[in-house]
Structure formats: C-alpha cells, structure tokens
Structure 1
Amino acid sequence: MDPKLTWHQAQRISRDKVEFNMTFLGMIVLQNKLKPETKPAIHKLREARIRTVMVTGDMIQTAISVARNCGMIPIKDRVIIIEASPPDAHGPANIKWVTAETPDEGTDYYTDSDYLEDVHIDLENPHKMHNFHFAVSGQAFAVLTTHFPEYIPRVVVKGTVFARMSPDQKLQLIEELQNIGYNVGMCGDGANDCEALKAAHAGISLSEAEASVAAPFTSSIPNIECVIRVMR
C-alpha cells in the first residue's frame, strides 16, 4: 500500500487490489461484546413501545448482528437489507432488497415506482405492517435521498439499522425522523456524532470528550441506561 494514500482514496480501492501479492503472517480476532446493561435497557424501551434505531459507522452485517443480540430486532423478525446503485452507463438508479438471512433466495430488483410496494408498507396504518426491519448502508441511503426521495419516509419508519453512515448522514437521518413526527433522542460517543446530537430533541453524550460539547446531556456512565433516566 502507498503510505501517502488518503482514507477516502483507500475506500475506493477494491479488496482484490489491496490484498494482492501479500504474505499471510497471522490473524487477529477482535471481539467487542455488548455491555451487560444494553439488553435490559433496550427491553425496557421496547416494553414502553419506544422505537430503537441503530445508526453506526460499522459494517452492515456487524450492525445487524449487534441489533439482534441486544433485542433491537426480535428473533422472529425479518431483516431486509436495502442496496442501491446510482445511475451509470448501463441504466438508471436502481434498488435491490436482500433478505439478510437468505440473501441468495430472497433477492429481487426494483426500479422507480415498483420499489417497496411488494413489502406492503402503509404509513397510514402502521398496525398492519409486517414484522420486518430495513437495514440500510450509507451508500444506499445516499442513492435513496438523491434518486428516490419519495421513499425516504417509508424507509426510515421501518429502518432499524443504518450502517456505514457518515456524520452528515447521521444528521440527515435524525431530521428525516423528525419530519415524519418522531420525537428523537440520540446517544453518541464520538466526534462523528456531534451534528446528530445537536439536531436531536434530546442528545446524550456517552463520552466526556468531543461529543459532550454538542450534546445537552452527558452521561458519567458510558452505557445506554442513561436514556431511560433522561426520559423519566
């Protein structure tokens, strides 16, 4: 790898090019376990019918796994990953949805107005919605906002996992949720959460570093139990 390569340039390089002509020396396995307070806190919020959403810079599969493990996505609920591509020489912008559990069998392609009708989203009658959750990457979110803005309210109302999201996209997600009538609370612990923490109705920093400057609340305990305390 070129030591002068910037972060943004590195993101555009394919994995095949990065891993070419290398010698395997070993593997390091990192595990970031859930904090013991997380699952009970999510359970209390769900019991109170308060919706929980994850917005993160992590990989989408990692985020889905964490969302399931903490109870944000119940075991029997279905996860649909939204993938979207911008227009190119081969055709217009398109959207693909993939069932996370069986991606090879649950894949279909839609363009323009065909998208989302088959999953029966009805914002006027939310009690009729099926037990499924959207998982969206930052790349797909950018395509949706640019080329399919009319679908954004439907996506954010059923989206539980938003992964690989930039700081600007985190802010945009907060604003889109507010636009459809949600009172939005936001927890964050880094500089990339600052704008979203400012925009939320109640922003809670889990760190006394960068995010605490932007958030009206700062927790001295770095876990999400503080959300319930602030709401009370």
Structure 2
Amino acid sequence: MQFKRIVQYVFHERDDRWRGIIRYGPLLLIPISISVILLWIFSTASLVYSATIGMEENCYNCTYGACAGRISCYPVAITPGYWDSAAEGASEVFARISILIVETVHLPLHLWAYFRSRLHPVWALCLSIALVGGWLCQAMFAWGRDDIGGAYNTAVWDGLATFRAVLGFGVAIVYFVYMGFAAHAVKLWRKANKRRANEREEEWRTTMGTGRGGSEEARVDSMELQKL
C-alpha cells in the first residue's frame, strides 16, 4: 500500500506546465540520479586504482645501437591515470568528477522544483541542453584519456574506464530525451500564455464596446503576455 502511494505521488499531474505525457520528462532525472551514484562509485574506484597501481618494466630484445644483443627495459605506467605529481593527480581528479559535483548539486534541486510544482519548462530546457553537452564532453574525454584497450592497460582498468564512458554517453542520451520533453513543454506554455493574452484582450475590447469600461490592468497584462 505504501509503495502504491509513492508511485501515485511520483506519477500524478502536479503542474499545469507539465501535463499529459510530458509530465514523465522530469522523471527521467531519477535514472540519471542512479547513474550519477554509480559513476561516483566507479570514478572513485578508478582514481584509487590508478593512484596505487604504479609502474612496471617493459623489456625487449635490443637489435641495434649500443644495446644490440642485450635485453633493454624501460618503465611504463600500466594505467593512463598514473600520477607522477600532486598537480597531475589533482587534474585527474577534477577531470573525472567535475560533472559529478555539478550533478550532485543540480539533481536534488531539479527534482525538488518539479515535485513542488516550481519547475519552469524554460529552465528545464536550458539545463538539459547544457548538460547534454557536458556529459558528451565528459564521456569523450574519459574514452580518450583513459586509453581504453591500450597495450599496457590491465583488464580492471579497461573495465572501469569502459563502464564510466558508456554510462556517461547513456546519461547524455537520457538528457537529450528530456530536452525533447522540455522543448514540448515550452511550446505548450507559450501557447497557453498567448491564449490567455488573447482572452484578456477580447475581454478588454468587449467591456469597452459595451461602455462599461475595460480594466487598464487587464489591457497591460494581455500586452505583457503577448510578448512571451
């Protein structure tokens, strides 16, 4: 029974600006929130793994030059995220979790605004456009910077990196779908404003025609609504 109440609370229409099928748009933020939690876990695991994995020696038979006929070895990082310095470590951390920090602040506020009937479609559209770009950049950076499938990578590193990159692309796709819902909500909101403006304009003209005098406030309101 409690679960049924929760489902009814989540899915019922609560805002005139998000009616019909478009009310499901903001609910896409729920799977995005789950994805962000998973990305926090796997990003932290990747950072810890890359910081502790260290170096290994790569050896080969030298066939030319001063080392001809001998085995030559040189150190290589077995993950692309190996940290040679504190500055490099800080940049690695920032590059991987910056979008997660943004989402940790944004998602609770966005969901709160929707469930409190304060989510404006224009605000939702602008945020979804920005976050589609942000997640695409993050996913492409992760794919390239982590050198997935590199010759010296371990299976663990490739697994962590692939999961984060694929999930990042998935979040970008979900935001793209949400952008479509928000764009449709903006279109309906503008139509509703224009309809109300026309109704107020007609009311003002009718009252003027009957000699009762129209409300100047209604006239101003209709003109303001027509600008939207």
Same fold (TM over 0.5): no
Scaled to the shorter chain, the TM-score interval is under 0.3
The structure with the greater share of residues assigned to strand is 1
Name the TM-score, length of structure 2 as normaliser. 0.20
Higher relative contact order (CA 8 A, sep 6+): 2
The structure with the greater share of residues assigned to helix is 2
Name the TM-score, length of structure 1 as normaliser. 0.20
Structure index of larger Rg = 2
